[in-house]
């Protein structure tokens, strides 16, 4: 069976997001290094450098996950569909926390953004569980 257009779109989005995460990770590492060189006090500069490196490596790790997911989606591998479901579920959870935070701070713009992201996440989940999409991945269950 041929790869559905929606799966191709999800793969391209995964590649783009992975690329942005990689740039962000490299930027965090570079920023931490620059801050550590600019800070006059050894302790604070060291903290900035180590913090930037840790956050940068975490972002690079997620970038690799998204790029591998994009490759799997392009190959219509069922493990990639399951990985996408997990990643979208985590994004949905993050959106829920964002909604709660924006309600606590009375920030309607942040609330609308979190609702928009949550709606897109729900749409992706519904799409990935459609019978014809599952069939394209060769999934028999889940």
pLDDT band at 41 (very low <50, low <70, confident <90, very high): low
Percent of the chain with pLDDT over 70: 96
Mean pLDDT of 34-59: 79
Alpha-carbon distance of 67 to 25, in angstroms, equals 14
The pLDDT of residue 59 is 96
How many Å separate Cα 87 from the centre of its chain? 7
- Rounded Cα–Cα distance for residues 113 and 115 (Å): 5
Looking at residue 134, its pLDDT comes to: 92
Q: What CA–CA distances, in Å, run from 140 to 41, 44, 45, 90?
A: 59, 54, 54, 24
Would the pLDDT of 35 be above 80?
no
Domain ranges, ordered by start, for the chain: 1-76, 77-137
Task: Give residue-wise pLDDT tens across range 67-114.
Answer: 999 999 999 999 999 999 999 999 999 999 999 998 888 889 989 999
| Two structure tokens written together for 47 | 């903290």
Is residue 52 very low, low, confident or very high in pLDDT (cuts 50, 70, 90)? confident
Query: What's the rounded mean pLDDT across residues 24-44?
Result: 78
Q: What is the pLDDT of residue 32?
A: 79
Residue 56 has pLDDT above 80, yes or no: yes
pLDDT at 31 over 90: no
- The Cα 81–Cα 59 span in angstroms is 21
Q: What is the pLDDT of residue 39?
A: 67
Which tens digits make up the pLDDT trace of 7-28? 999 999 999 999 999 999 999 9
């Amino acid at each position: 069976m041929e790869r559905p257009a929606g799966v191709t779109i999800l793969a391209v989005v995964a590649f783009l997001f992975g690329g942005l995460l990689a740039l962000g990770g490299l930027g965090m590492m570079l920023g931490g290094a620059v801050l550590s060189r600019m800070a006059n006090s050894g302790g604070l500069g060291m903290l900035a450098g180590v913090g930037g490196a840790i956050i940068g490596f975490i972002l690079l790790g997620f970038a690799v996950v998204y790029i591998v997911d994009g490759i799997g989606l392009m190959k219509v591998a069922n493990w990639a569909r399951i990985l996408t479901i997990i990643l979208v579920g985590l994004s949905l959870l993050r959106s829920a926390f964002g909604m709660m935070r924006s309600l606590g701070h009375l920030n309607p713009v942040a609330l609308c953004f979190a609702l928009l992201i949550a709606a897109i996440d729900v749409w992706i989940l519904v799409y990935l569980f459609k019978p014809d999409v599952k069939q394209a991945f060769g999934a028999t269950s889940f």
